[in-house]
Amino acid sequence: MLTDRDSRRWLLYSGAALLMLFEFANVYFIMPLPGSQRTRSLELAYTLYSLRWAVRAVAGVLMLAGVTAALRVGGRQRILVGVTALVVSGVTYMFNFRMAADAMFLPPTVMRMEPAARNTVATDRLVVGFEHNGQARAYPLQFIGYHHQVRDTVGGQDVLVSYCTVCRTGRVFRPIVNGQVEQFRLVGMDHFNAMLEDVRTGSWWRQANGEAVAGPLTGTAMPELPSRQVSLRQWLQLYPHSLIMQADSTFTSEYAKDYAYERGTSRKALTGTDTASWREKSWVVGITLNGVSRAYDWNHLERVRVINDIVGDTPVVLALASDSVSFFAFARPTAATEFTLDGDSLVVMRAGPSTRYAFNGKGPAGALVPINASQEFWHSWRTFQPTTDQFPRVVAGVR
């Protein structure tokens, strides 16, 4: 039969078990751990995170209530108390300071942008490019893939440049929430997509579409700005006066990656590429217009180089540059205006003299209107655009 002292000392171990289980769960449901990303766990993850201090307080009270009784027993109990304290401290440190997303992927300590003449980034590396009010910027994937998000001001406009290597999604957003410039931190991942938390309300925002999906601002979305994923060489051909993000020397080891991820030769479980079509880790280019989403098979685009299509009643053209990594999408002037490629120029297919457009959209008859198109893993695009169809059409359904 347990004495009153025995009952109280077990409060220590109950509190310790509660705290360790909670710290594990608080990380498990919002990080890419086995099984965590394939379930609908976002609501649970946000609830656990919101209650973190309350649960920690309850666990702390239980442990404090039991530690005195446990120490009074003496002998081996004192050793067990010490071991428990060490294990709880280790688990708490591991899940809060080692495995937490914002502890694993730090923001740059400095944003150094240089012109092409002083650039040190290899020109065959991929970048997310953005241009506004005559100012152009290039953000190499090798840097933003680690940081997940960087902040900048381009042409007088605040921008949030984001990248998720597990989804292969590059996005540029205007970080304005309720009329104010908002700050964000990386909080974790849901369905293999990076999740950001705003400073003011603690709401969680999905990187794939800039929408708040948990917390007070659920349903709010940041405006997405037009960006391009291209090689740095291609970007500088279009925008020779562009500035290029340079390496932050604090993160040299994190940047020290080969080209495997960017070129699709990696076979890692989370970030590797499947070279077949319409597999989980296959590449697609996704376009959404007027509520209609379409995924274009990357292998097919590599073969045909240019696709004339209509998405949501908007005639579009999707083209792949000669470097086979840079792609561009524009609205076609009319459904009857179809394009072919001549080198790295779009050429109108019609009788008489051809009309040529550069990949920045500029041509003799005005400028083509760029549209957002993103290269993603197929699992990512179909998860966040569940009504998407496929091009070329897949008769047998989703594979």
Q: Please give the pLDDT value at position 10.
A: 82
> What pLDDT shows up at residue 301?
98
Q: What mean pLDDT comes out for the span 176-189?
A: 94
pLDDT-based confidence at 132, cuts 50/70/90? very high
Mean pLDDT confidence for 240-250: 96
The pLDDT, as a whole number, for residue 399 is 44
The pLDDT assigned to 81 comes to 80
- Which pLDDT belongs to residue 119? 98
The structural domains of the chain, with segments of one domain joined by +, span 4-99, 113-261, 283-391
The amino acid occupying position 355 is T
At 374 the pLDDT is 95
pLDDT in tens, 135-169: 999 999 999 999 999 999 999 999 999 999 999 99
Please, are residues 38 and 64 in contact by the beta-carbon 8 Å criterion? no
- Looking at residue 6, its pLDDT comes to 61
The pLDDT value given to residue 228: 95
What does the pLDDT read at residue 235? 97
Q: Rounded to an integer, what distance in angstroms lies between the CA atom of residue 106 and that of residue 94?
A: 16
Q: What percent of the chain has pLDDT over 70?
A: 95
Q: Which residue type, as a one-letter code, is found at position 268?
A: K
What pLDDT shows up at residue 237?
95
- The model scores a pTM over 0.85: yes
Query: 193, 198, 187: which is closest to 48 by C-alpha?
Result: 187
Q: For 368-382, write each residue's pLDDT tens digit.
A: 999 999 999 999 999
Section 255-280 average pLDDT: 89
Per DSSP, the chain holds a count of helices (H) and strands (E) of 11, 28
Q: CA nearest 189: which of 45, 23, 21, 44?
A: 45
Question: Rg for the chain (alpha carbons), in Å?
Answer: 25
- pLDDT confidence of residue 380: 95
Residues 345 and 356: beta-carbon distance below 8 Å: yes
Residue 4: what pLDDT?
55
The DSSP-derived string for 19-88 is HHHHHHHHHHTTTT-TTGGGS--HHHHHHHHHTHHHHHHHHHHHHHHHHHHHHHH-THHHHHHHHHHHHH
| Per-residue confidence (pLDDT) for residue 3, from 0 to 100 | 53
Pairing label, strands 184-190, 193-198: antiparallel
CA distance to 196, 197, 271, per residue, from 211 (Å): 10, 11, 23
Q: How far apart are CA 33 and CA 25, in angstroms?
A: 11
d(CA 319, CA 163): 22
Both tokens assigned to 213: 């999906």
CATH number 1.20.120 is the correct assignment for the domain at 283-391: no
Eight-state DSSP code of residue 231:
E
Bigger pLDDT: 255 vs 185 = 185
Q: Tens digit of pLDDT for each residue in 59-96? A: 999 988 888 777 776 667 778 888 888 998 998 888 88
